[in-house]
Structure 1
Amino acid sequence: MGAYDTETDRLAAAARDALVREIDADGAFAGDPVWREAFAAVPRHLFVPYYYVAGPHGYERRWGESPDPQARARWVRGAYADVPLATRLRDGELLSSSSQPSLMARMLAALEVEEGDRVLEVGAGTGYNAALLAHRLGDDDLVTTVDLEPEITEAARRHLAAAGFRPAVVTGDGARGVPERAPYDRIIATCELSTIPRAWLAQCRPGARILTPLATGLLALTVRDAAHAEGRFLPTAAYFVPLRGAGRAQPEGVSFAGLPDGAREQETFRFLLALTRGTLDPREAYALWEREGTPERERYGVTVGGEHTWAWLDEPAGPYAWPLS
């Protein structure tokens, strides 16, 4: 089967409408209602011709060209579920995914895109997010998306072309940005980082906005110049595949030994642990978290200043501040 059949297209249109209504009801479009039109127009199923669903016996592969009509229907309905979809596995490790659409909507609204902005996306994934950006901006050339894996960028390029979009898709280390397409007004990352790459700031115009996952949160930075940026975390929790590239190791696990029962279930405490990994002992972090009234994410921020990058609670000058590696 070289193309999806009429029934699949009908199911996709109905499922897409339902997804947009669900995201709308969740309030994710409130920050910038223009994104509703983009999600209604861009067909997500073209970006996930197959994906994997975890089950009791491992991952089940769903694909759009199955000879079984019921299997195709399950695939298309799943493509429009408001959940992240595993799209690339290697030896059981998740390499790439299509993010939860409502989280994507919140991130895109928080990016505060304006007409004519040049946008760099770090983490091409399936290409779906780049398509939403290209639709919103009305000019494919304003959007650049980068990923380390050639197989991922090749697939993203195919998906984008199938949906009628042709932004710049680059294979490379996202932490180094894409200097040949700079300067950027907005940078959005769809993979988790442990710090803010200096190359991003150098490729931004003054006043640019960077939105990136960090320590299970979403950080929104305003760039002052090539060496300075500052901003706070959004209230939203966010869990993404880590950025891969030269010199980036997986973080070590955190021990909860000596902490009160239930500490690991406290979501905002786990955020503080991730933010202070390597600089605060978990017991010290727990004492601070309790003393400061179990602070929510939006009380935290990050400053990039010259040679140093640090996270902080309430104020950049402290008294609570921690270096980011």
Structure 2
Amino acid sequence: MGAHVLGKDLDGLAASARAGLVREIGASGVWDADPVWRRAFEAVPRHLFVPYYYVGVRGGYERRWGESPDPRTRERWLRGAYADAPLATRLRDGELVSSSSQPSLMAKMLVELEVADGDRVLEIGAGTGYNAALLAYRLGDDDLVTTIDLYPDITEAARQHLADAGYHPAVITGDGARGVPERAPFDRIIATCTLTSVPPAWIAQCRPGARILTPLATGLLALTVHDTGYAEGRFLPTPAYFVPLRGDTRPEPEPAHLGAIPRRARENELFRFLLTLTRSGLDPQEAYALWEREGEPTRERYGITVTKDQEWAWLDDPEGPYVWPLR
């Protein structure tokens, strides 16, 4: 395909690029457990959800735009839209506030959400609307999908992108930590932003047996709701780095001073995960001692328990010797 792509040529390139992305994600085997998600990624055109995005360059960001008068720029924009990479879509005062997640991570999260026909799903973090479109395609019913974001400009754009692609789920402007009680109860909640703890409102708005999948402490937490005030679950092995949940008023703790920690631990991704997870309960030296003593535990050995009054993280056993408060 030449550099000067216009009209139908651009549509053809989009179809080809989307098929290439689907093949790349599928090669990992991520869809083996639920092949319908492959059809969703084949059907939903990601480029409609990212009419522009930002690429990091020296000194800041460069905007790539699908309506650029330069055909070469339009082609770069389109190819980038189908790269297996996160895309920065909203900047505020030079800070990233919204993005389109890496498609392969989205695919893994959607499979791990274990959606069944007829499930009501709440997405925390509407972003571009792409993930909500994938959910709407999977469920075959727009009314089963609700997505929420804090900023009106983000929800307005997501609503428009979804309409352009032929989907009309409920798009709500509000604080995701409070959930969407008027659309509850939910069978599944998926968050596309990272949290410091699990909001009690989410548990309260779920049916018993519901599944919640959320980034937390650079990991992906899968919780099962047992009743309106109690949920428990473990982390998946997958690392996950997302924009923080906006509207969460709890401040992020200052980064711990790690000077006394050996370099091999400081640079180890699993130790950093432990450090983030235990920052309310252990100092770095205590975290390092635990990490060494327990044989450098992987993410799936950790879990979270949420009750009406408490929330704590644990290693191996929620009632074992290693527990730390989250709130």
TM-score (structure 1 length as normaliser): 0.97
Distance 1:169 1:157 in 2: 6
Report the counterpart of residue 191 of structure 1 in structure 2: 193
Q: CA deviation at 1:246?
A: 5.2
Report the counterpart of residue 265 of structure 1 in structure 2: 267
Residue 240 of structure 1 aligns with an amino acid whose one-letter code is F
| Residue among 161, 165, 177 paired with 1:163 | 165
SS of residue in 1 equivalent to 2:263? coil
Aligned positions of 1:53-132 closer than 5 A: 53-132=55-134
Distance 2:131 2:268 in 1: 31
Aligned positions of 1:168-317 closer than 5 A: 168-245=170-247, 247-317=249-319
Q: CA deviation at 1:28?
A: 2.1
SS of residue in 2 equivalent to 1:262? helix
| Mapped contact 2:200–2:308 kept (Cα < 8 A) | no
Report the counterpart of residue 153 of structure 1 in structure 2: 155
| 2:46 maps to 1:44 | yes
Distance 1:169 1:64 in 2: 24
| Mapped contact 1:147–1:170 kept (Cα < 8 A) | yes
Q: CA deviation at 1:264?
A: 2.0
Query: What per-residue deviation string (whole Å, max 9, x for no partner) do you get for residues 270-323 of structure 1?
Result: 000010012100011011001101010000000112311100000010110001
| Mapped contact 1:268–1:294 kept (Cα < 8 A) | yes
| Mapped contact 1:28–1:103 kept (Cα < 8 A) | no
SS of residue in 1 equivalent to 2:317? coil
Distance 2:123 2:163 in 1: 17
- Give aligned-pair identity as a percent: 74
Distance 2:253 2:87 in 1: 23
| Mapped contact 2:280–2:324 kept (Cα < 8 A) | no
| Mapped contact 1:299–1:314 kept (Cα < 8 A) | yes
| 2:18 maps to 1:16 | yes
Query: What per-residue deviation string (whole Å, max 9, x for no partner) do you get for residues 7-62 of structure 1?
Result: 21111100000000000012222332210000000000000000000012321100
Distance 1:85 1:255 in 2: 31
Distance 1:57 1:244 in 2: 25
Query: What per-residue deviation string (whole Å, max 9, x for no partner) do you get for residues 98-157 of structure 1?
Result: 000000000000000000000000000000000000000000000000000111000000
Distance 1:54 1:26 in 2: 27
Distance 2:301 2:10 in 1: 46
Distance 1:139 1:99 in 2: 23
Q: CA deviation at 1:261?
A: 1.8
- Once superposed, which parts of structure 1, at least 4 consecutive aligned residues long, lie more than 4 Å away? none
Q: CA deviation at 1:257?
A: 1.5
Query: What per-residue deviation string (whole Å, max 9, x for no partner) do you get for residues 174-212 of structure 1?
Result: 000000000100000000011111111111000000000
Distance 2:316 2:26 in 1: 31
Distance 2:297 2:248 in 1: 34
Distance 2:14 2:250 in 1: 39
Distance 2:234 2:248 in 1: 27
SS of residue in 1 equivalent to 2:62? strand
SS of residue in 2 equivalent to 1:156? helix
Distance 1:69 1:213 in 2: 38
Residue 264 of structure 1 aligns with an amino acid whose one-letter code is R
Query: What per-residue deviation string (whole Å, max 9, x for no partner) do you get for residues 194-243 of structure 1?
Result: 11111111110000000000000000000011110000000000000000
Residue 29 of structure 1 aligns with an amino acid whose one-letter code is W
Distance 2:308 2:250 in 1: 22
Residue 241 of structure 2 aligns with an amino acid whose one-letter code is Y
- The two structures, once aligned, show a CA RMSD in angstroms of 1.0
How many equivalent pairs are there? 322
**Unaligned 5+ residue runs, structure 1?**
none
Distance 1:15 1:182 in 2: 37
Residue 14 of structure 1 aligns with an amino acid whose one-letter code is S
**Unaligned 5+ residue runs, structure 2?**
1-5
